[in-house]
Structure 1
């Protein structure tokens, strides 16, 4: 069994028995536009159902860990991209590789895409999927932005025509760090070049059992978090062509998390109380919060029924009032979440191994130090 909570991730920084290796010097610049960009490259061949389940289960825990990071007191922007590779159902001409999402701040979309992944046997070309992620994604050019690739799979790392050494060298030259997660025993991952890939990528090498059962602790606080999450949902109002479908998807992703475990549902609710969860593309409150001129730009017919008959001044007042209500609910969720985390800490034993979420959060926190990011709960 694996026991893992958001407050225990820092202890993982010192738990690895991997030998220390030389790290590149990171030049840090001052900027208010700091970003954390994470590209997840997941093997969806026929043996990887457990890996996909771990990704679905750990998404919100990873987001919550990232949400604790501050740079010079400011919250960085969070963007996550998703690729699948090694699946016979994908285009052979594309190397059995598909960009599932480009870098996005839409966490509901990311959850939707993760839950839609299906496995099938295939050829697993690690070098090629890394190359595509480097070339296709819009990586931030600022040196104080954290740029990370996580590739997970279980076949030889050197398969395919694309040389992984050259590709990863290109990534490092752009300060994109490559981390590898081998699904199997540690020594097999080493002999199949997964450790070599991480070493070349100035990242971390992990091995996990993708089929390991993760035990989640249900707590006395879960019911309160569920109640507050429903109140939080009531502060979202869809507008424009995306409004109805995106609002519906918010509820679907709540349901997806709940279908896996009450603890995962709670972690998702906590994520929705963080700055990383923003929906200005479809929610009127977030749209106004990002751009006050939204009130002047939006057409009446694009507004939800609750707002259509309001004057511009009334609309501004209503949006400000709703935003205040939302912030109060988010603060309540945060307060309950801290109690919940302490309860989980007190009622679990030490993890007996890494899972996908533990591997990712541990390496993120370690690399964050190099960029002068600090953990602020």
Structure 2
């Protein structure tokens, strides 16, 4: 561990040098392919019998949407933590999230100013990294086309019980572009995908610019928000203790393989990104990391890999191992990994208990709150409503 402790801070510094709202809730319905995850090296621990919740975020990155992107960064972990509370017939679902940007002139006309930033993935650190890399520029927003791209390009589940959601956010007329938004939404509904629309502006403007109609056709929910409003965070007496646990948790990760060190660095970079927003946001991210079902790093962490694929250590190449394990026997490596796993489980359990106390404190504070919900709370409330319709429970 000493070698990693000395090297990682230097690498992290190097990596860093390179490297809202007042929603109106209008529930529209009372009843509710080809891209692969090229970023994941190893896909172990993927129990395909588990229910899945798949969410595609389609964000307008034109000039006027800086506030929207900041809110998405501020509420990513809050949204994910809400998703992790859901169960279907007693089983925890697998969570997969995709990210698209649209309306950015810098993306070029041949692409209709649309880019798939990330396919449906379970790599939450990568998702955070991609979200924090978004910038805004120009403005040609084609809602119909980006919805159609998400429907046709992503590897959506064909299991009826799985929940499939698209959230599209922006502030221009919904019918811009050559591709009909009605046809795009029909494609989504044929695949049992629900379309939720988030208009950045007044309720009436969103209705006149067809964002309400998009949600109605998509059997989803329509919000209007003030995208320039700062997200309200509630500091709790437990945030500092959760942060300390998170630092200890990071020490239990053992990188391996060609991308292991860079993935380990990215884990800590995303901690820093979360902390720059607020201590509360940092705590939200840390609590996500306490949930081993949803925060699984088998592609680069030996502890998760050994748990998902116990035979891996019998044939792992010495060159794949980190410096502290090179030249060790299989039994020595297993003992070290077992030690790290026990430490990790104990820390995650401690964080889970702190998280419960933290949520109780927040719930008490919210009883006296006068502010409307922000973007994160609006999205999570719609997820919970649809989840209940689909048979999911918290």
Is TM (by shorter chain) over 0.5?
yes
1:87 to 86, 92, 104: 104
Q: Counterparts of 2:320 and 2:212 in 1: how far apart (Å)? A: 52
- Aligned position for 1:23: 31
1:223 partnered with 2:240:
yes
Query: Aligned to 1:306, what secondary structure does the other structure show?
Result: helix
1:362 to 377, 381, 390: 381
Q: Counterparts of 1:206 and 1:144 in 2: how far apart (Å)? A: 25
Please, what TM-score do these two structures have when normalized by structure 2?
A: 0.87
- Aligned position for 1:117: 134
Query: Aligned to 1:48, what secondary structure does the other structure show?
Result: helix
What pairs with 1:1-377 in structure 2 (closer than 5 Å)? 18=26, 21-24=29-32, 32-274=49-291, 275-348=293-366, 349-350=368-369, 352-375=371-394
Q: Does the CA contact (< 8 Å) of 1:2 and 1:351 recur in 2? A: no
Query: Aligned to 2:325, what secondary structure does the other structure show?
Result: coil
Superposition RMSD in Å: 1.7
Deviations 1:202-235 (A, max 9, x none): 1111111111122212222111111100000000
Query: Aligned to 1:83, what secondary structure does the other structure show?
Result: strand
Q: Counterparts of 2:331 and 2:370 in 1: how far apart (Å)? A: 54
Query: Aligned to 2:254, what secondary structure does the other structure show?
Result: coil
Q: Counterparts of 1:337 and 1:17 in 2: how far apart (Å)? A: 28
Q: Once superposed, which parts of structure 1, at least 4 consecutive aligned residues long, lie more than 4 Å away?
A: none
Q: Counterparts of 2:54 and 2:27 in 1: how far apart (Å)? A: 26
Q: Counterparts of 1:354 and 1:187 in 2: how far apart (Å)? A: 19
- Aligned position for 2:8: none
Q: Counterparts of 1:97 and 1:268 in 2: how far apart (Å)? A: 28
Q: Counterparts of 1:300 and 1:371 in 2: how far apart (Å)? A: 47
Q: Counterparts of 2:28 and 2:64 in 1: how far apart (Å)? A: 31
Q: Does the CA contact (< 8 Å) of 1:152 and 1:182 recur in 2? A: yes
Pairs aligned (count):
358
Query: Aligned to 1:75, what secondary structure does the other structure show?
Result: coil
- Aligned position for 1:8: none
What stretches of structure 1 of length at least 5 have no aligned partner?
Answer: 4-14, 25-30
Q: Does the CA contact (< 8 Å) of 2:105 and 2:113 recur in 1? A: yes
Q: Does the CA contact (< 8 Å) of 1:38 and 1:81 recur in 2? A: yes
Q: Counterparts of 2:30 and 2:251 in 1: how far apart (Å)? A: 50
Q: Does the CA contact (< 8 Å) of 1:2 and 1:215 recur in 2? A: no
Please, what TM-score do these two structures have when normalized by structure 1?
A: 0.91
What stretches of structure 2 of length at least 5 have no aligned partner?
Answer: 1-19, 33-47
Q: Counterparts of 2:230 and 2:223 in 1: how far apart (Å)? A: 18
Q: Does the CA contact (< 8 Å) of 1:181 and 1:359 recur in 2? A: no
